[in-house]
Homo-oligomer: A and B are copies of this chain.
Amino acid sequence: MSTDTGARPPAMSDVALAAGVSHQTVSRVLNGHPSVRPETRLRVQDAIARLGYRRNSAARALVTRRSDTLGVVTPASALYGPTSTLVAFEEAAREAGWYVSVATMRRFTADSMRAAVEHFLDHGVDALVVIAPTSEVASAVQGLDVPVPVVLISSAIELREREGVLSVGVDQRLGARLATRHLLARGHTRVLHVAGPQDWFDAQDRLAGWREECEAAGVTAPKPVVAGWSADSGYEVGRKLAAGKLPEAIFAANDQLALGLEHAFWDAGVRVGQDVAIVGFDDEVGAAHYLPPLTTVRQDFVRLGSLAIDVLRQALGGLTGREAPRLVPPEIVVRRSSGV
* A interface residues with partner B (beta carbon < 8 Å): 54-59, 61-62, 65, 67, 69, 76-80, 83-84, 87, 90-91, 94, 99-104, 106, 118-119, 121-124, 230-232, 234-235, 256, 259-260, 262-263, 266, 284-286, 288-291, 293
Given the interface contacts A62-B56, A83-B78, does A69 sit within 8 Å of B101 by beta carbon?
Answer: yes
| Complex contacts, A62 vs chain B, CB 8 Å | 56, 58-59, 62
Kindly provide the distance from the CB of A141 to the nearest chain B CB, expressed in whole angstroms: 19
**Interchain CA distance A55-B259 in the complex, whole Å:** 50
**Interchain CA distance A121-B9 in the complex, whole Å:** 11
Kindly provide the distance from the CB of A287 to the nearest chain B CB, expressed in whole angstroms: 9
Closest B-chain residue to A261, C-beta based? B289
Closest B-chain residue to A230, C-beta based? B285
Given the interface contacts A62-B58, A83-B83, A286-B256, does A101 sit within 8 Å of B104 by beta carbon?
Answer: no
| Complex contacts, A84 vs chain B, CB 8 Å | 78
| Complex contacts, A87 vs chain B, CB 8 Å | 76-78, 83, 104
Closest B-chain residue to A301, C-beta based? B78
Q: Could you write out 19 A-B pairs with CB less than 8 Å apart?
A: A56-B124, A57-B122, A57-B123, A57-B124, A58-B58, A94-B103, A99-B101, A100-B101, A100-B102, A101-B101, A101-B102, A102-B102, A231-B288, A231-B289, A232-B288, A234-B289, A256-B286, A259-B290, A262-B291
**Interchain CA distance A320-B8 in the complex, whole Å:** 20
| Complex contacts, A99 vs chain B, CB 8 Å | 101, 103, 119, 123
Kindly provide the distance from the CB of A232 to the nearest chain B CB, expressed in whole angstroms: 7
**Interchain CA distance A163-B259 in the complex, whole Å:** 46
Contact call B78/A90, Cβ cutoff below 8 A: no
Closest B-chain residue to A229, C-beta based? B285
Kindly provide the distance from the CB of A158 to the nearest chain B CB, expressed in whole angstroms: 27
| Complex contacts, A58 vs chain B, CB 8 Å | 58-59, 61-62, 65, 67, 123-124
Contact call A54/B231, Cβ cutoff below 8 A: no
Kindly provide the distance from the CB of A27 to the nearest chain B CB, expressed in whole angstroms: 16
